[in-house]
Amino acid sequence: MKIKRREFGKLLGAACLGATGSAKANEYFAGWPDSYGMLTDTTLCIGSNCRKCEEACKKVNNLPPHKTPLSDDSVFEKSRRTDSENFTVVNRFENAADPERPIYVKKQCMHCNEPACASACLVKAFTKTPEGLVIYNKDVCIGCRYCMVACPFNIPSYDYFDAFQPQVRKCTMCYDRIKEGKIPACAEICPKEAITFGKRKDLVDLARDKIRDHPDNYIHHIFGEHEAGGTGWIYLAGIDYGKIGFPDDLGQTPYPEYTRGFLSAVPLVLIIWPVMLIGFQKLSQRKENTSKQIRSSKEEG
């Protein structure tokens, strides 16, 4: 009964607005069915003297190799972010519960279900593919960098020192490899199996199983399951995500929602303004004409 009433309401709404499509679009989008995703289990990542995922990523994306050896742990002294030469970085965070065992967190594009970057792009350079990947088309990008401003995870980076063919750079979840039937390079190389590739819905199940089977190892929260409308890349952790570099004020609203209201007001202005303004113009003209008439009749009188 409830569903029926809701359906009726929807129909009514659609009839009034004249658009069934837009009524549907307002529903929560849980990602493409069967889309791929990744699960990073931060409790398994060893970080120190490893960073093999970073190296593998650089190799498949033809990025310049690391300047210091992977065994050099001094890179962990500063928190790093993704940039045009590093599509993924591992950062170290303090572990208050066990100071001997700091927490290592791999960072890269989250491949949001409804990406902020894609909704921000004025030339549609970003696509959320049916496979669940967020990819970038360098051939249309004009370089306004609104995607970087919009991304809540601060992931996309820019070639600031290229004057002629600068690009926005970020992880593609190894789009080309997936097309070839391979799995993303970082997931393949990880010696601790901290990164799992699979169908997103299976990964959510897997993450839930892990939490249920080892309740002492994990907090009861899969990061990315619902954050910003859900992300393709999800995480498990033993402590609060806010303490290991994740934005903890994201909410569950998909980013395109934030500008939807404004954009839907645009056609209203386009239709109402001209009528209203020309109306004002006619009114003021009439007023002017009347006062002219009064003046001339007075002069005559």
Partner 1 sequence: MASSISKELSIRSWISQKLLLGKSFSAYVKDLQSPFNVIAAVILAVGLPITWIRFTKGIGAVSNLSNNNPWGLWIGVDVLSGVALAAGGFAVGTAVHLLGARKYHPVVRPAVLTGFLGYFFVVVGLCYDLGRPWRLPYPMIVSYGVTSVMFLVGWHVALYLTVQFVEFSPAVFEWLGWKKIREWAAKLTVIATVFGAILSTLHQSALGALFLLTPGKLHPLWYSPFLPVFFFISAIAAGITMVIFEGMLSHRIFGDQVSAADHHSFDDLTLGLGKAASAVLFTYFCLKWVGVAHDYRWAYLGTPMGRWFLLEVFAFILAPALLLFWATRIRRAELVRLGAVWAVTGVIFNRVNVSMVAMNWNNPDRYSPHWMEYVVTITVITVGLLTFRFIVNRMPVLYKHRDFDYEH
User: For the chain, percent helix, then strand, then coil, each to nearest 5?
Assistant: 40, 15, 45
The label of the residue with tokens 């089977």 reads 213
According to DSSP, the β-strands at 168-169 and 195-199 are unpaired
- Contacting residues for 59 by C-beta, under 8 A, at least 6 apart: 185
d(CA 198, CA 132) in angstroms, rounded, equals 11
Smallest separation, CB 278 to partner 1 (Å): 6
Q: How many residues bind partner 1 (CB under 8 A)?
A: 61
Residue span binding partner 1 (CB under 8 A) among the ranges 40-48, 58-66, 135-143, 209-217: 135-143
Smallest separation, CB 53 to partner 1 (Å): 20
Smallest separation, CB 160 to partner 1 (Å): 3
85 touches partner 1 (CB under 8 A): no
Q: Which of residues 251-290 bind partner 1 (CB under 8 A)?
A: 251, 255-256, 258-259, 261-263, 266, 269-270, 273-274, 277-278, 280-281, 283-285, 287-288
Q: Which is nearer to partner 1, 159 or 225 (CB)?
A: 159
- Phi, psi of 197, rounded to the nearest 5 degrees: -105, 140
Contact 172, 146 (CB under 8 A): no
Residue span binding partner 1 (CB under 8 A) among the ranges 6-14, 58-66, 145-153, 178-186: 145-153
Q: Which is nearer to partner 1, 152 or 198 (CB)?
A: 152
Contact 211, 236 (CB under 8 A): yes
Helix or strand holding residue 40 (H, E):
strand 36-41
Residue span binding partner 1 (CB under 8 A) among the ranges 100-108, 134-142, 186-194, 292-300: 134-142
Q: Which is nearer to partner 1, 49 or 290 (CB)?
A: 290
- Polymer length of the chain: 301
149 touches partner 1 (CB under 8 A): yes
For residue 27, which amino acid is it? E
Mark residues 151-190: x for contact with partner 1 by CB under 8 A, - for none: -x-x-xxxxxxxx-xxx-----------------------
For residue 233 the two structure tokens come to: 């890349």
Instruction: List Cα–Cα distances, 222 to 91, 195, 238, 241, 289, in angstroms.
Output: 19, 14, 11, 9, 71
Under the rule (CB under 8 A), what is the footprint of partner 1?
81-84, 116, 118-125, 140-146, 148-150, 152, 154, 156-163, 165-167, 247, 249-251, 255-256, 258-259, 261-263, 266, 269-270, 273-274, 277-278, 280-281, 283-285, 287-288
